[in-house]
């Protein structure tokens, strides 16, 4: 899967990502959502930067920050709030941004993955960051985003894995 993702030129990833994120915008759950948790995309993931920029003034947009083996949430307040994360160098709101702790208020979570299957199962990068976070946000609609080639018939699952409510690809 890593090789397939690397083979897609960034310009094509951006076009595919725009189509995927446009579909997210069309979801009734997104339209109703006031608090949305996304991720600040890495080069091999569905690109979210433009989406976060487009919506952060209208909705509360949260981004995860790696803290040991867990993810803390902080509100995105504009490009000036972003710093490189300490563990992986992934963009995240600076430590000066207050932590968001009201997990019950999160209406929707847009989740990256290495691969998904048609039953809503998700394969992450193996550290369990998202599975732990998703278990603590029972009220949120969980939406996986992926390129078409990341959809598989089945993926291996473990008891701690959290299923997605929806998975959206460019098609």
The residue extents of the domains of the chain are: 2-168
Do 32 and 107 meet the contact criterion of CB atoms below 8 Å apart?
Answer: yes
pLDDT computed for residue 48 by the predictor? 96
CATH 3.40.50.10420 fits 2-168, yes or no: yes
Rg (CA), the chain: 15
What is the pLDDT tens value at each position of the chain, 171 positions in all?
889 998 999 999 999 999 999 999 999 999 999 999 999 998 889 999 999 999 999 999 999 988 877 789 999 999 998 888 766 667 888 888 899 999 999 999 999 999 999 999 998 776 667 888 888 888 899 999 999 999 999 998 888 888 999 999 999
pLDDT computed for residue 128 by the predictor? 65
Q: 66: which strand partners?
A: 71
Residue entry with tokens 């985003």: 145
Q: How far is CA 131 from CA 5, 25, 34, 62, 136, in A?
A: 22, 24, 22, 17, 9
Look at strands 60-67 and 70-75 and give their pairing.
Answer: antiparallel
């Amino acid at each position: 899967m890593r090789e397939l993702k690397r083979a897609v030129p960034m310009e094509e990833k951006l076009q595919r990502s725009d189509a995927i994120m446009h579909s997210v915008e069309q979801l009734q759950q997104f339209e109703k959502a006031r608090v949305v948790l996304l991720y600040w995309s890495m080069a091999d993931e569905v690109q979210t930067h433009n989406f976060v920029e487009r919506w952060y003034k209208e909705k509360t947009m949260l981004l995860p920050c790696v803290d040991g083996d867990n993810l803390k949430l902080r509100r995105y307040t504009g490009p000036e709030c972003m710093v490189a994360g300490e563990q992986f160098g992934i963009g995240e709101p600076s430590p000066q941004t207050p932590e968001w702790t009201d997990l019950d208020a999160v209406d929707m979570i847009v989740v990256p993955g290495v691969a998904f299957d048609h039953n809503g199962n998700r394969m992450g990068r193996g550290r369990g960051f998202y599975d732990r976070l998703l278990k603590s946000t029972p009220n949120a609609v969980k939406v996986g985003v992926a390129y078409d080639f990341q959809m598989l018939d089945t993926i291996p699952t473990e008891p701690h894995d959290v299923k997605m409510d929806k998975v959206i690809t460019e098609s």
